[in-house]
Amino acid sequence: MIILLYFDWCGSRKELKDWCDRVSEACGEIGINYMGLYGSMNEKWNHVSLFETNSYDDFLKMGRKVKRPPCMPHYITEILMQQNLM
């Protein structure tokens, strides 16, 4: 499954890079493919991070390793599940 983490960021670029580095490291420990940080074309959100994982539980484990910083006042996750049309 693909998980999109949409969020607002009110900190510095350095703080955002540090957070992304911590997320990437935690994903590596758990076996999640961190696909990176992207700019969101959605007017509501500043950024979106993409993750490829086998389960939402793994994503939650990663989230417990990297706490949400105060610079991220709002966020929402969207789960994209592959469809089998057979």
pLDDT, one tens digit per residue, over 36-80 is 999 877 778 889 999 999 999 999 999 999 989 999 999 999 999
Contact, 13 vs 31, CB < 8 A?
Answer: no
Extents of the domains making up the chain: 2-80
Tell me, what's the pLDDT at 5?
A: 96
**CATH code for the domain defined by 2-80:** 3.30.70.60
Contact, 51 vs 35, CB < 8 A?
Answer: yes
**pTM score:** 0.88
Percent of the chain with pLDDT over 90: 83
Contact, 50 vs 2, CB < 8 A?
Answer: yes
